[in-house]
Structure 1
Amino acid sequence: MASTQRFGAGIWHFATYVDRYATDGYGEPRSVIDAIDLAGQVRDLSVVDLNYPFFGGDFTNEQVKTALDRNGLGVIGITPEIYTRVFAKGAFTNPDHGVRRLAHDLVTEACDVVRSFGADYVKLWPGQDGWDYPFQVDYGELWQASMDGVGQLADENPDLRFVVEYKPREPRVHMSYSSVARTLLGIEKIGLPNIGILLDFGHALFGGEAPSDSAQLAIDYGRLFGMDVNDNLRGWDDDMVAGTVHPIELLEFFYTLRKNNWEGVWQLDQFPFREDSVEAADAAIDFLKACDRALDKMDMDAMREAQARHDAMGALRIAQQALFSSY
């Protein structure tokens, strides 16, 4: 039976990048339209997550929709850029009320873009919310501001879903939404049904978590609204091609999703600085499809029995046989 699993990617996967060394960039700048046309060349890609405002020019929703249509792509989410220079001291946690209002207004605009494209969610990645030094902030006030910013938006837009993408650090040394547990605590305290987690596999690795355990925890609370996959060496958020470093842990992540009947897009959040972006996406999706096939052939009863005995070698043998015979 053919798989019905859908695959997506952040549109930034098809942009060009700068870092603090190659400040002239790894390639010529691209607009969002250019990036969508590249995304359309990827095999088996169904949806993209779009940054807002759209990069590389002054584009309307209609112009972006035209580009998406000609490439057969839909939109899963809109990511408002609440992490740029104007928000250097924070978006929801900025000490300046006017800047906090700018963040709120930008996300509110993004809500209308979500409605325009019929997307699944507004993705909140408040990368500048947090602190860097001891004594820099009042932790209680900062955490309350983090929750208030998200909660107000969710309350004002009950027809939409909001996902919070947590990350331990970068750009802030300590980010407010830094772990699955801390993010769940905040969401549960806010107490609104339309706020969930966007679980980035690489962020969980980077934070010292077991991504499968993080997924299970979010699912147990009914808060896993979306996910991204990539890979890294655990020391930094490298955003490498999915499955290139931690293939078994990535298979376990998807195993956890299937075991819990979690259905959603398997989405790429990769930054192929030096690689061809289409080739990198194809390679990742090929691996994700192999994981999907592996789950189809995995002996689930035997896996449950091995796990009931805490039999590490037996469970790994089942997982490895399924994966390595499916690629």
Structure 2
Amino acid sequence: MYKQAIISNFLGEIRNRFMVYQGPRDLDGKFESAKQIKGLSGLELAYPQDFADRAHLDALLKKYGYEAAALNFRCRRNDKWLRGSFTSSHSEDVDEVVQEMKTCIDCAHEMGVRYITTCPLNEGHDYLFEMDYSVAYDNIVRAFREIGDYAAERAPEIRICIEYKYSEPRTRCFIAGAGEALALCQEVDRENIGVNLDIGHALQAGERPAQSAAMLHKAGKLFYVHVNDNDRIGDWDMIPGSINFWDFVEFFYYLRRIGYSGWLTYDVYPKENPAPEVFNSSFQAVSKLIEIAGRIDSAKMDQLMYERNPVAVMNYLYTLL
């Protein structure tokens, strides 16, 4: 079974453009909420938000017995980088975000954390002719090369995980799909720069998550996984398998097939229900989805896929329920 984590921000106040949910909760309150979730091994900590008092954070991790699964580096801020950070046309913005990422790497190294995730949500554009795509590519490649080189020298155990997303808050994010994320990694050409595959983002981008996982694994770039569900239109961060049931079964079948043994981190939006209730339901759902995927006989499935007979495949899959 995979180790399971939650992004710390989802244990506190969350909001969209119209509503505020859950109410404010400080770091102590988030950890107290987390202890009500069965099967939780760690937290993906928001950087720099969760690090205002590093000694207190370390004390909470020790008190509750959680690992820091990853540090989630926030490359979008309310007070700066409003036109992007890694892709900014202003070199001082790129330099600043690279320097902050280096500080994050130092922090992760001190804590013994192997993964740093970052989702370039605000890198992108709303309108045509809004940004110079060529300059943006040059800047983001330069940034991640420098970040990769710094990590390789200072903390060779750390893996930087770029999380792609099709849209929001930009109408078109700059790194929108698995192929674009992989192309970026290959252009950066650093062993420690890879991809965080968020299943919901893959669905929103029109992908089959299992195919994305297989492709990224083939390239040696599947570093980390976020789990959530949506309607393939918006990134709603719903309970896994609540809509795209068979996509999740296929995804977990492929994770087993390719030998992925890393974290499953839940990027699920609690909204009206208490966060522990939502995450306990999410954990139960994923456990059942993994169980069903585990019932698939690999030799039989290999033969069925070789024959390319979807009717026979579906007939077989429904016998497993």
Which of residues 174, 177, 188 in structure 2 aligns to 1:176?
174
Normalised by the length of structure 2, the TM-score is: 0.94
Match of 1:109 in 2: 103
- Secondary structure of residue in 1 paired with 2:21: coil
Match of 1:150 in 2: 144
Q: Distance in 2 between the 1:317 and 1:227 partners?
A: 29
Structure 2 residue identity aligned to 1:79: N
Q: CA deviation at 1:293?
A: 2.1
Match of 1:59 in 2: 52
Cα-to-partner distance string for 1:166-189 (whole Å, 9 max, x where unaligned): 001111122121111111111111
Matches within 5 A, 1:1-327: 4-22=1-19, 25-55=20-50, 59-85=52-78, 86-158=80-152, 159=156, 160-322=158-320, 324=321
Alignment RMSD (CA, Å): 1.5
Q: Distance in 1 between the 2:248 and 2:165 partners?
A: 18
Q: CA deviation at 1:191?
A: 0.8
Q: CA deviation at 1:54?
A: 2.5
Structure 1 residue identity aligned to 2:36: Q
Q: CA deviation at 1:20?
A: 2.1
Structure 1 residue identity aligned to 2:11: F
**How many residues are paired up?**
316
Does the Cα contact within 8 Å between 2:161 and 2:194 map onto a contact in 1? Answer: yes
Q: Distance in 1 between the 2:87 and 2:125 partners?
A: 10
Q: CA deviation at 1:95?
A: 2.3
Distance 1:316 1:32, change over 3 A: farther
Does the Cα contact within 8 Å between 1:61 and 1:113 map onto a contact in 2? Answer: no
Does the Cα contact within 8 Å between 2:148 and 2:192 map onto a contact in 1? Answer: yes
Q: Distance in 2 between the 1:6 and 1:319 partners?
A: 26
Q: Which runs of 5 or more residues in structure 2 are unaligned?
A: none
Q: Distance in 2 between the 1:62 and 1:31 partners?
A: 15
Q: Which deviates more from structure 2 when the two are superposed, residues 184-193 or residues 104-113?
A: 104-113
Q: Distance in 1 between the 2:219 and 2:22 partners?
A: 43
Q: Distance in 1 between the 2:30 and 2:15 partners?
A: 16
Q: CA deviation at 1:68?
A: 1.7
- Secondary structure of residue in 2 paired with 1:267: strand
Structure 2 residue identity aligned to 1:80: F
Does the Cα contact within 8 Å between 1:11 and 1:50 map onto a contact in 2? Answer: yes
Q: CA deviation at 1:301?
A: 1.6
Does the Cα contact within 8 Å between 2:241 and 2:289 map onto a contact in 1? Answer: no
- Secondary structure of residue in 2 paired with 1:233: coil
Does the Cα contact within 8 Å between 2:250 and 2:293 map onto a contact in 1? Answer: no
Q: Distance in 1 between the 2:73 and 2:166 partners?
A: 20
Structure 2 residue identity aligned to 1:37: E
Q: Distance in 2 between the 1:126 and 1:205 partners?
A: 18
Q: CA deviation at 1:284?
A: 0.9
Q: Distance in 1 between the 2:15 and 2:276 partners?
A: 19
Q: Which deviates more from structure 2 when the two are superposed, residues 142-151 or residues 221-230?
A: 142-151
Q: CA deviation at 1:27?
A: 3.0
Q: Distance in 1 between the 2:319 and 2:54 partners?
A: 47
